Structure formats: C-alpha cells, structure tokens
Amino acid sequence: MKKLTIKLSILAIATAFITSCNPFEIDEIQDPNNPSVGSVSNNASKEQIQFLITGLESRHRGYVSNVTRAWGTFGREIWNLNASDPRNQTDWLGQNGRVPDRSYFGFGNTGGGSWATPYQAIKQADVLIVAGENTENITTASKSAAVGFAKTIQGYQFMIPANWVYSNGIRVDVKDALNPGPFVSYTAALDAIKVILDEGDQALQAAGSGDFPFTLTSGFDNFKTLGKLRQINRAISARLNAYRKDWSGVLTALDGSFMELNGDLNAGPTHPYGAAPDVFNPIYYLPNAPVNSIIVVHPSMLDDATPNDKRVAEKFFKRDEPVLVTTDAGSLVGQYQDGRWKSNTDPIPYIRNEELILLKAEAHAQLDQSTEAIQAINIIRNAAGIGSYTGSSSKEALIDEILYQRRYSLWAEPWGHRWIDARRYDRLNEIDTSYDKGTIFTEFPHPQAELSWDEYKGD
Amino acid sequence: MIYKPLLTLVFLILSIGISQAQYTVTGNVSDERTGETLIGASLLIKGTTSGTITDLDGNFTLPIPNSNGVELVISSIGYNSITLKVSPSQTTLNITLKQDATNLDEVVVTGLASSVKRSNLANAVSTVSARDLTGTTTIQTADGALYGKVAGATIRSNGGAPGGGMSIQLRGISSLTGASQPLIIVDGVYINNSFQSTGRAAVSGAGGSNQDDGSNRLADLNPADIENIEVLKGPSAAAIYGTRANAGVIIITTKRGVEGRTTVSLSQDVGFANPLNLLGVDNWSEEKINFFFPEQTRAQELERFRAAQASNTFIDYEDYFYNNQATLLNTRINISGGDDKTKFFVSGNMTSEDGTIKRTGFDRYSIRANIDHKIAPWIKLGVSSNYINSSTDRGFTGNQNNSGASIGYSIAYTPNYYDLRRNADGTYPTNPYFSENPVAVTDFGENNSSVNRFIQAFTLDIDILKTDKHFLKAQIAGGLDFLNNATEVYLPEFLQFQSSQANPGDIFVGRQESLNTNFQAALVYNWNVGRVNMNSQAGMVRLDFQNHSLFNRGRGLVPGQKNLKQAAVQEINSEFESEVQEAGIFLQQEMNFEDKIIGTLGIRWDKSSLNGNPNEFFAFPRASMAVNIANFDFWNSSAITLLKPRIAYGETAGPVPFGSTYTPLGGTNIGGLLGSTVATSIGNTAIIPETASELEFGVDVGLFNNRFSLEATYYIKNTQNNIQNLNLAPSTGVNTTPSNEAELSNKGVELGLSGTILEKSNIRWFSRVLFWKNTIEMTRLGIPTYLSGGFGSGLGTFLYAEGYSPTTIVGTPADPSVPGGFTVWGDAQPDFNLSFSNSISLYKGIELSFLIDWRKGGSNINLTSFLNDGGGTTNGWFDDDNGDGIPNGRQREPEPYNNAGRWIQDASFVKVREIGLYYTIPRETITQWFGGTVQGIKVGSSANNAFMFTKYPGYDPETSTFGAQAVQNNVDIAPYPTSRRIFFHLTLDF
C-alpha cells in the first residue's frame, strides 16, 4: 500500500512537472535571420524606406557580371575564357552549331543575370514604391523622390530583358507575382519603358529641388541632387530612344541629360564596389594573373584597331603570357586582358558622357545633320588621339564610323553594346567569328520558367 | 467508483507477496555444437515474469513458486529459444541451445515504448547485430558498415575521402528536395546526422555548400560501441515516429553492461589503405601535341615535350596524387560488468586513419559510459553518455571554379611531360595549363573539420504495478545531442591562384553549433483478455532542434598567418540560425493471441513549428497483423517450422524545410550602406508536411527447425503533398515558392534467404542472400514539367515529369517526344541490389566471413571523363577506335557524337565489401600461457572494399559531388578515389 502511494506520488510529481513545462506548446518561430517583406508594406519608417533604396542600388548592379561576360561574348568584344567550365566557350560562342535554348548555359531556367536579376531590381523598385505610398512617416516630396528614383532604375533595368530576348518580347506588367501580364513585343515594351522613365522624371521634378532626400552611395557621386538624378533619367531615355529609333527624341532627352560636349567623357553614375561586406568589382583581374579563367579582349578588337588609338592602349592590357583554353571545340588563345581597372574596388560606370555624345552623333546622322554628327564624332576621335573624321559625310558612312567608334569607346561596358548595335543595324553577320568558328546569336528564347508558369496558370 | 480498480490493484500487489518457492530447478546451459557453456542465458517461467540467468559457468538455480509442473523458456542472444517442462520430479536440467541462424528470437523495438519478438513481427524490420556490423572488418563509420546488410537500403558513398560522407535511401525516394535521410535515433536520442558545411566549395568556387564534400555526422559515432541497428524502412513500420519518419528510421542501440565478472577487452587494428581503382592517364606524342594545341602554343609545347623526353621525366599525376599508402590505426578498450543492481559498459576508442591523398585523414576519440542502476526493485535508471572529438582532413578534390583548388582538375588538364613538383629552392612551378599548382595545394592547403560532441541519453523505467498477469509501467526517456563543428579551409598566399588575386591568401573559418533535445513519456499496460495478451501504450514526445552557424572569411593574409585579423579583407560570410519545436502524442495497442495471431493498431498526432500552422495536429495511423500458421495446433509439418503471412499499413511525414513560410528582406551592403532586398522566394504560409502511406505485405518462412529462413516482402509506398518549389514567372522578380503538389509511388520487393548450409562438429557455414528492387514513378507533379540538378541539359540533368521517375537522366540532343524536350539517357535508380554474405566457422576458433555487394544498373553522370577529355588526358584519348581520323577524346559515342549521352554511364558494380579471417586461441592454450590473467585472445586479418568489378570508367561508381541528395546523388566530378583497406587485428580479453 505504502509502495503504491510512493509510486503514485512520483507519477503525480512527474505529471505536474510535464504539465508545468507544457511540452505540447509550440511557439510560432519568427524568422530569426531576417525581417519580413510584410514589415515594410504598411507604415514603413523612414529608415526602412532608406534600406529599400539602398537595396535597390544593390539590385541595380546585379546584372553586371552576366551581361558583361555573356553579351560581350555574343558581340565578340571579349572572350570569357574559362578552363573550369568549357561551356563558357562552346555554348556562349555557339560552337559546333550550338544555339540558345530555354535553359542555356549561364542563364538557367530563369534567364539568370539577363532576365531574373533585372526583374528583381524592378520588383525591388515596386516594393519601394508601395512602401512609400503606404507610409505616413515621410513627406509627400520624399515619396515623390523615391518614386522617381525607383522608376528611373526600372526604366534602365527593363531594357536588359527586352534586349536579351529582343523580338520575343517581355512582360511589362509584373507587379503581381501570381498574375503577371502578357508578353508584349519589343517595340511595345520600349514604349512602355518610355512611359516609366517619363513618369520617373516627372516624379523627380515633383519632388522639388535640392538634395535627394535619401542617402545614395558613391555610385551617384555628383548626382545626388534631384536635378542631377533627372539628368541620369534623361540619359537613360536617350539610350532608349535610340533603340526606339526616335532620333529627335534622343536629342531632346540628351538636352535634359548630363551630356557635356567639352566635359569629362567618363562623367556619369557608376555601380560602386568594395571590400567585404560589399562585393568586389566582378570583372577585375590582376594584370598577368596566371589563371586560365579570365576575360580576354577579342582578337578582332586588335585587328580592327586604328593605330595609336588611346582607347586601345588604355583598355587592352597585353599579357606576358597568353591565356590558353582548350575544349572539345578546339583552343582559344587570349593575349590581352581588360586593362580598365586599377583595383578590385573600382566602380563600374554604366552610362557615360562619351556614350551620350555618340548618341548625339548617331541621332544627327540619322536625321541627316552630318555637320553636327561629325562634330560629335570628332570629340570622341580627338579624345582617342586618332584625329578628326575625314571620311564621307553620307549617312551610311557616318553610321559605319559611329558604330566603329562605339566598339572602342563602349568596349565591354556592362551592356553588350556591340551585340545590340550590330543587331539594330542588321549587321550581326559582320561580327568576326573566324577565331572561334562559332555562331552569332540574334536573341534568346524566353527562359523555361516563364513558359512553365504560363503552362501552370493554363491548367 | 474510483476505489474499485484501486482495490483490485492492491489485491494484486499483495498476491505477489504471498508467493513462495515450492521446489527448485537447477542445471546448466551450453552450446549444442561446441559444448561451450553459455553465460547469461535466461530462463523464464512461461506466462510469468519470474526467472533467472546462468552464471559464469553456465549454471543456474531457479525456485518455482508452486508445486505444479511449469514450462521454462530458455533463451540466449544468438541462440534459438526452447521451451522445456519441469515438475517437482524433474528438477535437474542440462540444456543445450542451438545457434540461431535466423534471429527469430531476437527482440525488435517496434514502438516508442514497446518491442516484439522477431517471429511475431508484422513488418520487414532489418536488424544488424554488432557481429554483422563490425565483426568482419573495421569500417570508419556506422553507415558504411551497413552496406549489403539491409534489404531495401540503397547506400551510397559520396566519395572516398576519409571520415565518411554516406547517404542512405530506404525504399526509394520519399522527398524530391534535400537529402531526405532516415531519422537516426541513438539510445533514444534524435541525433544530428546532417552534412555540415565546411566552406570548401566557397573557397574553391565550386558553388553551394552541398559541394563541400562534408561528412555526415553519424561519422562521429564509434561503430564498435553499437550493439545493434534496427532499420524501420518505411511508413508501415515507422508510423509511430510520425513527422520525421518518411525516409525511414534507423534505431541504434549501444552496448550495455551485463551482470557478472568485470571484463576488460582491448583491441588493436593496424592496417593500410591504397586506392581501389585508378584510371591511368594518356601519354603524349608530337603528333598528339600538334593535333591538340593551337598554333600559337605548339612550339612551346613541343619544346617541353622534347625536354621531358631527353630527361625521361614523365609524371603520372594520378599516380602521384592518389596512389599513396595510408596508415590505419584503431585502438579500442571496453570495460563492462555489474551486479544485480548496477551494470556498466565503458568504452574508449582512438581511430587514426590517414587518407591516400597526402595530408588527409580522420581521427576520432570517443569515450562512452552506459550505466544501468536499479534505484529500487521497481525503478530502473539507465544513462548513456558519449563524448566524441573528431578531426577530419579531406583535402581538395571535387568540383571547383577558376580557383584550381581540386586535384582532379589539375590531373585532367596537365600533360605528363610538364613537371609541377616542388623546385629545389622550395618554390613551386607555375602551372600553365590550369589556375593552380596542385602539388602546392596538397602540400599547404588545409580543409579541416573538428567536432566536439556530447550525446547523453537517460531512461527511467518505473514498474507501477506488476502481477503474474498484468503489469503497468511508466517509461520516461530523453536526451540531448550537442555538437560543435569548427571548420577551417586555408589556402596560403603564395599559391598560384592566390597570387593571381588582388588579396592573396584565403582563410574560411566556420563554427556550427547544434543542440537537439528530446523528451518522451509513456505508460505501458500489459494485460490479458481471455487468451489474448494485450499491450497498451500511451505517451507523448517533445522534440527541439536548435542550429546556429557562423562563417567568416579573410582574404589578403599576412604570410603564414591564419588568424582572421591578419587579413586585408575580413568578411562575415554567413550567419544562420534556426529553431524547430515539435510535439506528438501516441497511442498503440498490441494484441497477441498465443503467438498465433499478432495485431497492432497505433496512431500518432504531431505538430511542428515548421508547418504553416504550427498548432495543427497531423495524424499518422498504423495497423498490422501477422499470423504464425505454424504455431496453430493443426500444423504439424516438421519441415516448415515457421510460416507467417503478414500485412502492415502505416503513414508518416517528412518535415517542412525550415523557413518555408517566410518571405524575408535580405541584408545587403553596397558602398558602405546597408540595404534590404526583397527575397526571390515567397513563403508559403499554408505549407504542410509531405506525407507517405505504405502498405507492406509478405511472408516469413522457417524451414527445418528454422535452420533456413526466407523473408519475402512487397511494398507500395505512396507519397503525397511532396514539397517542391513552384517556379514562378521570374519576370515578376520572384523565382519560387514552396508547394505541396507532387505525389510519388515507390514499389518494391525485398527477399532474404538465409540458413546454415553446413553444421558439423568441425564446420559451420552460414550464408545469406538479400535481394531488393525498387521502382519509382512520379504519379502527380502538379506543376509544369521541369528539369533540375546536375549541370544542365548539355551534361545531363534530371526530368521531373508525370509518369517518369525523378531519377530519370535526360540531356542533349533535343527529343520533342519526351516531356521536357530532351533525350532520356539513363536512370539513377539501380535495377536491383543483391548481397551475398557468408560466415564459416572451422574447427575450434577459426572464422572466415565475406560479403559481396552487387548493384545492377543505375547510371551516373560522369563529368570526370568530361574534364579529362577536355584536357586530353583520358586514357586512350588519342586512339581512334572507329578509325575515322577523329581521336576518341574528341568524338564520344553514342551517335550523334558529343551529346550529353556520352557522360551518362552505367554504374553497375560488384564489390567484395568485407573479408575477414579470425582465429580465437583456445582457452586451454591461453591458460597455459598466461594462467588466469588473460581470458581470451583473438587474432585476425580483414579487408574492406577488397575488390571491385565494374565497367564504369570512373574511380568508383558510387560517388556524388552534391553529397547526399534525394535525386541528384550520382554526379561524378573529380572525386576523392575510394580506398581498399587491409587490416590486422588483435583482441585481448582480461
């Protein structure tokens, strides 16, 4: 009897112990590592808006490595030599008849740096816009400034997927993740981008004057006022209008931009890079680095160079030892590497005064204003130390000249200018494939994930 | 009302007190074949809980509490039980027991608080005893010792690096994402068996941490401590484990002390390892150089080639890096003993095994104390404590990008006429063919993981009431597993690739800490309804898992320094924290009609903080029945002594991955500012666990007094709500959201045939054949067909489509007739597995055993060949088998040449996993030599992975560059070659 009492007491104590800790209670575990997107959707603080703006700057540079390497390869500005993965050669150069498919090397099912990444910047800008609209913690002018900044970046980023898939068209209505809009043609997409950029410009204008009310990185050094940001917006519009073949629109936009005919050709905003916790310049390589995974200058750039072109001397660094990569499609040898960067923390410019002057030249040439066109061309030529233009002033000759100058002035900038330029003038077949026996791609199909989504929604 | 049952209990307890001995039975128990006495054999009066065990000389004395004839059940581990009648006129017994070939009498743990005799089991639960596990040879890790011993288990080694790295798939695939490994429970503790990151892939540029080639942490457990391993292969057996049991449950029980004299056992293994298989590298000729190298570099290559010819210095780099002999040392000490109140088992283990690549190896130090103590006759406490310190150096193999930090890549790309070896002045030549000099990396690179781990378990058994006919007991159990893993990957500043960097020298330092705790309380009531014995259990389970990891990186190092503060660029590479809480309730009812019909019903309800709704309970029912036809009175076949058809059904779940419900804002730094970025994955707040249901049926047959046994099982395992990422339109700026849409079906057969082929006084030959086969089909995908895994369609990837197995490998060229649009080239799933094990006892004391493991079918994606072909170093590269003028290395079959199909290769193999030959020196001889000091001496020699037969053109058909994965677990990229291990053994018992 006594023993049973002891046993029952022990059980009772045990039961009480178990009940007191309540082992059935499960906490709702909040994300211990990150804040949630939901935390900014309603009445975000000024600091939270600031974090989203800086986040947008970060998303804004996401495309740089992929676009520079891949599009640069497509336009044979460079070879992205990589002994560790031969597909950087075989697939990107279209060797042995390879053509882009929906999950091509380097782009995957989502289109990677040429599709998903720019759209992530667009999404980030949308979240910023919504967060700005739904908060009482910043002034109306600040809201307008944030919207203007967001839409300016969106305009720039939308052009990346549009140029990648070109005639296949892109989605421009992408605000609702579960209900994206239809694909629209390249022309329609560019028109939609124009609207976004114009809205951005108006919003910046509506925000008043003076400094942009949020902190920007050194990437916007010299562009931190509302007025200067509008100049960036207009510069991007000028590039867009050239793609839209709206030549007078190019000139109008340039008027509002930071173009300065006698100014520093390098003036313009940049993507900043730095040591951790930032990331390094993703296309920097140490001079003469004894590696065989490195961006090298495409040999045609040297073959076609004008003697004494300062751009060749400044941008192309001749290695002591060439870089050799062999694949099942043969071997490629690179003698020159990218000489533009002094260190791995150098910022990468993405739209410069030099490009704006070349756009001016192109627009004038297209509008048969050869004098103004040649004037602009000569600014570039003289800066490169190759003397003034002496060729024909026919439109065709001037366009030839401008495209040639663009190859050297805008070489390997994070845009793939040569590939896009050759395509918009229907000159893809002029790109030199004699070294790699590859193919010049015109465009990419939509990435597989887009197709899959439409299929899923169709069910 | 309340008092009535209580009074009954009191009466029952009092009735124990009045029992008294009426007569006493005495006798001796011995082995039928050898005549050796059996220590610790158990004698139980049938139908009661009273009995005794034999002493050191095999003698026993058992008082019988009444004056009637009773039946005694005599049993001993490893022997067939027998039942004998005794009566006051028959009180002296000399009992002989037969060695059990079929383990029908062993007890199998089937519930959270119950166990059942194998002969009554309704599921095909595999049990691997210590003898089967480690009796033949010494294997580094417990999972590696399971090869070929569990029907239904597909075990794969991720590579040959020392210190483990194994994955186990039980009955096919239960989950499409992640590793999907079985739940592992050691002495009741839910241990951490994750593949922890080392940072190697981050430093080598390979990619995500799944390419680190890290060990799974079961490697920490000393296999020699294990008493047995039970494998619950599917939901029908594992349902009572609920949410974490979808991939099966592996229950490991460690050795415990037995009553009697204290024994001290000391074992030493000395061995060496060599690579099991090397491929050879291709030679060069001027003709080949002229073909292979472009015009610009040809002259220089020819010059180097001629210089090598002149001095005859050609270096076979494969041989140089991989073909080294490694020393293997293992020391073990066990001390065990106890009395009727306290029993103990204390063990120590020192493992020091080098790898076949220089400066790699695995060291493990383990101390264990397992103690059982009766606090009172009715309350028993058991504790198991294990501290482990292990250190693993796995070197630099596998995938890399640009950094050159993988030996296999350098072997692939460096021709044998170029000398990369260290110069006389201590510097290393620059490798013009790849980014790195692998000799320098091997000499100076570090890739170490050091684990400190403590696993603690306790159980408390309380007999609340105990009579001849009933017992009620409470079982409280719990434990913890605390693991700290300090990792370091270091590449010094003077290495070729480092010196090509802006900040040369790279140190990557990781700290991972995990704490698993579990607590379980159950009440077990055993009672009878007529002739049916009822065992009822009710209980609860609580589980908590906490993980924290922090990785720091320093680049631009002061020469020779590894402290992060000596780096120019200091970076917090990642920090991650997770916490999971789970609770469950279970009820189980077992019914046993005189060992003739045995039925079980059970249910478990679980909730988890991982789920969309953390407070929703999910139910996991089970039911099973076994019928022992041979136990019925009408059965009188002397040939068939066991005939047991059985059927079982059960449901389980697989947990939702941590964080599936979150849509986070990530932290990012740019230009000195902190930003928040919108994640590319949207959380699913309605996510539920993936569930599986399994119907298993089969028959167990025992022939000729169970000298032979056959176990045949067929199962149908269907999974629902399988979690996979739904790919969103990436143009919306988000890529994925987890979904619960897919369903899979696994169907398979498991056959086991075992028996004693010969049993004579001077030879006993036991043999076992296991066969198993599984087929998988995606019965529902729920989202559009997609390809995933591997390195894309050009090199082979996996097809996720309805009607196909997700292990289907597809690749170029395009084939529009197949969903997903590419040609089907293979399937990772093997056609079948077959293992054949034998143990032969000869004369007195000689034992020979071996185990052969055959895996038929199943393809790998062999990208090692892809690399070697790219570098012109594949053996036979410049041969031209089809005589069309294009060398083999530039034109691989199948036609049309050079598509993905060339890398997808049949990975069938036959491996002689284990061979052991031991001699136990006869007791008399030892007594002559040492008097009574030494009780036993055993000497032997053994081999692990002794031989391999395969047509697969890689180091080992078992390899996975992505580690343990549900699907893409067969991609071969420059792995660490597997070793053949040869040992000499000595064991002394005091």
Handedness of CA B562, B563, B564, B566 (dihedral sign): negative
Shared-domain flag, residues B847 and B963: yes
- Measured between CB atoms, does A116 come within 8 Å of chain B? yes
Shared-domain flag, residues B567 and B459: yes
The predicted pLDDT at position B11 comes to 39
Among B66, B99, B132, residue at a domain's last position: B99
pLDDT, one tens digit per residue, over B110-120 is 777 788 888 88
Per-residue confidence band for B234, with pLDDT thresholds at 50, 70 and 90: very high
Per-residue confidence band for B935, with pLDDT thresholds at 50, 70 and 90: confident
Shared-domain flag, residues B614 and B531: yes
In B, which residues are within 8 Å of A322 by CB distance? 296-297
Q: Is the predicted pLDDT of residue A407 greater than 90, yes or no?
A: yes
The predicted pLDDT at position B352 comes to 96
Count chain A–chain B contacts defined by CB atoms under 8 A: 311
Q: Any idea which of A241-245, B240-244, B696-700 has the lowest mean pLDDT?
A: B240-244
Task: Read off the tokens for B312.
Answer: 């005859």
Whether B734 is in a domain gets the answer: yes
**Cβ contacts of A143 within 8 Å, gap of 6 or more:** A132, A133, A135
Whether B312 is in a domain gets the answer: no
Contact check, Cβ <8 Å, B614/A277: no
Whether B893 is in a domain gets the answer: yes
Q: Measured between CA atoms, how close is B908 to chain A, in angstroms? A: 28
The DSSP string of B72-112 is EEEE-TTB--EEEEEBTTB-EEEEEE-B-SS-TTSEEE-SS
Per-residue confidence band for B982, with pLDDT thresholds at 50, 70 and 90: very high
Whether B212 is in a domain gets the answer: yes
In A, which residues are within 8 Å of B519 by CB distance? 23
Shared-domain flag, residues B26 and B81: yes
Per-residue confidence band for B41, with pLDDT thresholds at 50, 70 and 90: confident
Shared-domain flag, residues B61 and B197: no
Mean pLDDT, to the nearest integer, of A442-452? 94
Handedness of CA B888, B894, B898, B902 (dihedral sign): negative
Residue that is written with structure tokens 């009302």 in the block: B1
Task: Read off the tokens for B163.
Answer: 């210190």
Name the average pLDDT for chain A: 94
Per-residue confidence band for A16, with pLDDT thresholds at 50, 70 and 90: low
Q: Is the predicted pLDDT of residue A112 greater than 90, yes or no?
A: yes
Per-residue confidence band for B706, with pLDDT thresholds at 50, 70 and 90: confident
In A, which residues are within 8 Å of B665 by CB distance? 34-37, 39-40, 51, 55
Mean pLDDT, to the nearest integer, of A1-28? 71
- Measured between CB atoms, does A168 come within 8 Å of chain B? no
CA angle B648, B652, B654 (to 5 degrees): 150
Q: Is the predicted pLDDT of residue B2 greater than 50, yes or no?
A: no
Q: Count of domains in chain B? A: 2
- The string over B809-835, giving b where at least 16 C-beta atoms fall within 10 Å of a residue's C-beta and e elsewhere, is bbbbeeeeebbbbbbbbbbbbbeebbb
List the single residue in A18, A124, A450 with the smallest CB-CB distance to B678.
A124
The predicted pLDDT at position B751 comes to 97
Interface test with B, best of A1, A5, A7 (most B CBs within 10 A): A7
Q: What gap in Å lies between CA B355 and CA B167, rounded to an integer?
A: 20
Whether B593 is in a domain gets the answer: yes
pLDDT, one tens digit per residue, over B181-199 is 999 999 999 999 999 999 9
Task: Read off the tokens for B345.
Answer: 């088992």
Q: Which domains does chain A have, with CATH numbers?
A: 43-281+347-443 (1.25.40.390)
Q: Is the predicted pLDDT of residue B7 greater than 50, yes or no?
A: no
In B, which residues are within 8 Å of A447 by CB distance? 730
CA-based Rg of chain B, rounded to a whole angstrom? 30
Q: What percent of chain B has pLDDT over 90?
A: 72
Shared-domain flag, residues B57 and B179: no
Name the average pLDDT for chain B: 91
- Measured between CB atoms, does A224 come within 8 Å of chain B? no
Per-residue confidence band for B1, with pLDDT thresholds at 50, 70 and 90: very low
Shared-domain flag, residues B979 and B878: yes
Among B99, B128, B163, residue at a domain's last position: B99
Per-residue confidence band for B9, with pLDDT thresholds at 50, 70 and 90: very low
Whether B297 is in a domain gets the answer: no
Q: Is the predicted pLDDT of residue A195 greater than 60, yes or no?
A: yes
Q: Measured between CA atoms, how close is B571 to chain A, in angstroms? A: 5
In B, which residues are within 8 Å of A28 by CB distance? 609, 614
Per-residue confidence band for B61, with pLDDT thresholds at 50, 70 and 90: confident
Contact check, Cβ <8 Å, A84/B205: yes
B962: which strand partners?
none
The predicted pLDDT at position B15 comes to 38
Shared-domain flag, residues B746 and B672: yes
Whether B200 is in a domain gets the answer: yes
Scan residues 71-100 of A and list those with Cβ closer than 8 Å to B: 82-87, 91, 96
Contact check, Cβ <8 Å, A7/B378: yes
Query: Which DSSP letter does residue A36 get?
Result: B
| Residue A269 near residue A356 (C-beta atoms within 8 A) | no
- Other C-beta atoms within 10 Å of B460: how many? 18
Question: Which pTM does this prediction carry?
Answer: 0.90
Distances A175 to A49, A183, A448, B14, B738 between C-alpha atoms, Å: 19, 14, 20, 78, 20
- Measured between CB atoms, does A385 come within 8 Å of chain B? no
Q: What gap in Å lies between CA B916 and CA B943, rounded to an integer?
A: 6
In A, which residues are within 8 Å of B401 by CB distance? 82, 84-85, 293
In B, which residues are within 8 Å of A87 by CB distance? 792, 794
Q: Is the predicted pLDDT of residue A374 greater than 80, yes or no?
A: yes
The predicted pLDDT at position A365 comes to 98
Contacts 24+ apart (CB under 8 A), B765-768: B765/B838, B765/B839, B765/B840, B765/B841, B766/B101, B766/B838, B766/B839, B766/B840, B767/B836, B767/B837, B767/B838, B768/B835, B768/B836, B768/B837, B768/B838
Pairing of strands B379-393, B567-593: unpaired
List the single residue in B665, B667, B732 with the smallest CB-CB distance to A123.
B732
Q: What gap in Å lies between CA B392 and CA B449, rounded to an integer?
A: 5
Q: Measured between CA atoms, how close is B730 to chain A, in angstroms? A: 5
Residues in chain A, overall count? 459
Q: What gap in Å lies between CA B44 and CA B26, rounded to an integer?
A: 13
Per-residue confidence band for B898, with pLDDT thresholds at 50, 70 and 90: confident
Interface test with A, best of B665, B727, B902 (most A CBs within 10 A): B665
For B820, the closest chain A residue by CA position comes to A448
Residue that is written with structure tokens 């690579």 in the block: B275
For B888, the closest chain A residue by CA position comes to A328
Q: Where are the alpha helices (DSSP H) in A257-383?
A: 299-303, 310-315, 353-366, 370-383
Q: Is the predicted pLDDT of residue B107 greater than 80, yes or no?
A: no
In B, which residues are within 8 Å of A455 by CB distance? 784
Q: What is the CATH number of the domain that holds B76?
A: 2.60.40.1120
List the single residue in A51, A87, A454 with the smallest CB-CB distance to B794.
A87
List the single residue in A83, A284, A450 with the smallest CB-CB distance to B731.
A450
Q: Is the predicted pLDDT of residue B37 greater than 90, yes or no?
A: no
The DSSP string of A402-413 is HHHHHHHHTTT-
Whether B293 is in a domain gets the answer: no
Task: Read off the tokens for B877.
Answer: 């590269």
The predicted pLDDT at position B12 comes to 38
Contact check, Cβ <8 Å, A24/B540: yes
**Cβ contacts of B143 within 8 Å, gap of 6 or more:** B155, B164, B166, B168, B216, B218
Contact check, Cβ <8 Å, B662/A29: no
Q: What amino acid occupies position B412?
A: A
Q: What is the CATH number of the domain that holds B505?
A: 2.40.170.20
Q: Give the rounded distance of the alpha carbon of A70 from its chain centre.
A: 12
- Measured between CB atoms, does A217 come within 8 Å of chain B? yes
- Measured between CB atoms, does A445 come within 8 Å of chain B? no
What kind and span of H or E run contains A14? helix A2-21
Helix, coil or strand: residue B195: strand
Shared-domain flag, residues B156 and B70: no
Shared-domain flag, residues B475 and B609: yes
Shared-domain flag, residues B47 and B149: no
Contact check, Cβ <8 Å, A217/B673: yes
Q: Phi-psi category of B93—alpha, beta or left, where left has phi over 0 and alpha has psi -120 to 50?
A: beta
Q: Measured between CA atoms, how close is A62 to chain B, in angstroms? A: 12
The predicted pLDDT at position A299 comes to 97
Q: Measured between CA atoms, how close is B533 to chain A, in angstroms? A: 24
Q: What gap in Å lies between CA B473 and CA B172, rounded to an integer?
A: 38
Contact check, Cβ <8 Å, A105/B794: yes
Q: Is the predicted pLDDT of residue B4 greater than 70, yes or no?
A: no
Q: Is the predicted pLDDT of residue A376 greater than 70, yes or no?
A: yes
B451: which strand partners?
B390, B485
Shared-domain flag, residues B341 and B422: yes
**Cβ contacts of B908 within 8 Å, gap of 6 or more:** B830, B855, B856, B857, B858, B950, B951, B952, B957
In A, which residues are within 8 Å of B292 by CB distance? 326, 331
pLDDT, one tens digit per residue, over B132-177 is 999 999 999 999 999 999 999 999 999 999 998 999 999 999 998 8
Mean pLDDT, to the nearest integer, of B914-943? 90
**Of B424, B426, B461, which is closest to residue B440 (Cα–Cα)?**
B426
The predicted pLDDT at position A279 comes to 95
Q: Measured between CA atoms, how close is B137 to chain A, in angstroms? A: 40
The predicted pLDDT at position B19 comes to 44
The DSSP string of B471-538 is EEEEEEEEEEEEEEEEEEEEE-TTSHHHHTSSS--EEEEEEEEEEEEEEEEEEEEEEEETTEEEEEEE
Interface test with B, best of A15, A25, A28, A33 (most B CBs within 10 A): A33
Contact check, Cβ <8 Å, B668/A55: yes
Mean pLDDT, to the nearest integer, of B755-774? 92
Q: Measured between CA atoms, how close is B497 to chain A, in angstroms? A: 7
pLDDT, one tens digit per residue, over A307-346 is 999 999 999 999 999 998 888 788 899 999 999 999 999 9
Q: Measured between CA atoms, how close is A427 to chain B, in angstroms? A: 29
In A, which residues are within 8 Å of B294 by CB distance? 324, 326, 330-333
For A179, the closest chain B residue by CA position comes to B732
Mean pLDDT, to the nearest integer, of A116-143? 96
- Measured between CB atoms, does A450 come within 8 Å of chain B? yes
Pairing of strands B249-254, B183-186: parallel
Among B99, B131, B155, residue at a domain's last position: B99
Q: Is the predicted pLDDT of residue B814 greater than 90, yes or no?
A: no
Per-residue confidence band for B44, with pLDDT thresholds at 50, 70 and 90: confident
HSE toward the beta carbon, residue B64, CA cutoff 13 A = 23
Per-residue confidence band for A20, with pLDDT thresholds at 50, 70 and 90: low
pLDDT, one tens digit per residue, over B630-659 is 999 998 888 998 999 999 999 999 999 999
Q: What amino acid occupies position B234?
A: G
Q: Which domain holds residue B620?
A: 144-277+324-989
- The string over B371-408, giving b where at least 16 C-beta atoms fall within 10 Å of a residue's C-beta and e elsewhere, is bbeeeeebbbbbbbbbebebbbbbbbbbbbbbbbbbbb
Residue B429, preceding bond cis, omega within 30 degrees?
no
Residues in chain B, overall count? 990
Q: Measured between CA atoms, how close is B767 to chain A, in angstroms? A: 48
Q: Measured between CA atoms, how close is A231 to chain B, in angstroms? A: 22
In A, which residues are within 8 Å of B679 by CB distance? 34, 37
In A, which residues are within 8 Å of B663 by CB distance? 36-38
Q: Is the predicted pLDDT of residue B101 greater than 70, yes or no?
A: no
For A270, the closest chain B residue by CA position comes to B671
Q: Measured between CA atoms, how close is A431 to chain B, in angstroms? A: 22
Query: What value of ipTM does the predicted structure carry?
Result: 0.93
Q: Measured between CA atoms, how close is B409 to chain A, in angstroms? A: 8
